[in-house]
Amino acid sequence: MERSAFHKLLALGIERGASDIHFEVGYAPHYRVSGELMSAIKAPPLTASDTEAIARMIVEDRRVAIDFTRRFDELDVSYALAQRGRFRASIFRQRGAVGVVMRLIPIHVPSLEELHLPRAAAELADARQGLVLVTGAAGKTTAMAAMLRHINETRHAHVVTIEDPIEYLHEPRKCLIVQRELGTDTESFHGALAAALRQDPDVIALGELRDSRTAALALQAAETGHLVLAALPTPDAGSTIQHLVAMFPPEAQGPVRERLAGALGAILSLRLVAAREGRRRVPVVEILRATRAIRDCVRGGRLGELAELMRQDRGPGAAQPFDQHLQELVGGGLISRETALEAAARPDELERALREA
């Protein structure tokens, strides 16, 4: 496959509003649009040489040459289509051939308002210290980018991001932003994070908390007066805390819960649902704030109580359960009542609240 043909396929994905593009041997290129997977009907099935050529074009600027004819580790790298968009490419082997899935990352860094994230997301970004975890199956990177844009527009700070790979590029505004990429600028999250603590940061953003060494350093950074934004693939607040503590051996988990209870600022969890109009999805957000009661639950490992504490939390700076945000999105005309009820944790209660509203 020639580069011009590859770029035409990427451009088609951008025009269609695709979130992901799949290149697999034996299939035409497939595009995920509004959550649905569809093929490029006029395109012929890809051959093994096609997908290998695509992989070579994606990685040709990397320092280390990769032999795709032999076994290789999975790769996550970025790729730019000039003036059109950026992509996060996942390259892997399947049935002896190369496969590629590319996630579209727009050049424009969206604002919190454009993503329809609640005002509380800006309040979390305004914090001067503490650990803020951004979680969910999808949408984490975009939400964190929007929070960093808010910081960049509202205060003077030194921001260090550690990403795998770099996705959104932040322009100089009020902040000095250093973006480091695994494999290109640094060898590991924990190594880059340890170095960042010696580089006079105000804000540190981690593309993912992958291991106990990185998690321990993130806690240390939050404890010593930095704002740390970090992503995890967990679906909600309770599973996020459980996942983070489980990174550590059993004998260390008690002290880790104690440290996490003191350092945690908030957990912002995302789910994407279909918008009422247009081929797009909007995030539904759960926000847990580290109140005294929440800290006591974390410290004691009583994670089963978190959901009820969040529902009871009221007033300024309160927690926000998923169902509360679903009700707000329906009220704002962004999603349908049917979509909200399908996504709700307690559909009967949400239906009652929507009727009363």
Strand pairing category for 264-274 and 130-136? parallel
Q: Which CATH superfamily is domain 119-320 in?
A: P-loop containing nucleotide triphosphate hydrolases (3.40.50.300)
**How high is the pLDDT of residue 49?**
93
CB-CB contact of 250 with 206 (8 Å) = no
Neighbour-count burial for 175-194, b at 16+ CB within 10 Å, e otherwise: bebebbbbeeebebbbebbe
Residue type, 174: K
CATH of domain 3-105: 3.30.450.90
How many residues in the chain? 357
**pLDDT tens across the length of the chain (357 residues):** 899 999 999 999 998 889 899 999 999 999 998 778 998 778 899 999 999 999 999 988 665 567 777 777 788 888 888 777 889 899 998 888 899 999 998 788 999 999 989 899 999 999 999 999 999 998 999 999 999 999 999 999 999 999 988 889 999 899 999 999 888 889 899 999 999 999 999 999 999 999 999 999 999 999 999 999 999 999 999 999 999 999 999 999 999 999 999 999 999 999 999 898 766 789 999 999 999 999 999 999 999 899 888 888 766 667 888 999 999 999 999 999 999 999 998 899 999 999 987
Virtual CA dihedral for 306, 281, 46, 71, nearest 10 degrees? Answer: -20
Looking at the chain, which residues constitute the CATH 3.30.450.90 domain(s)?
3-105
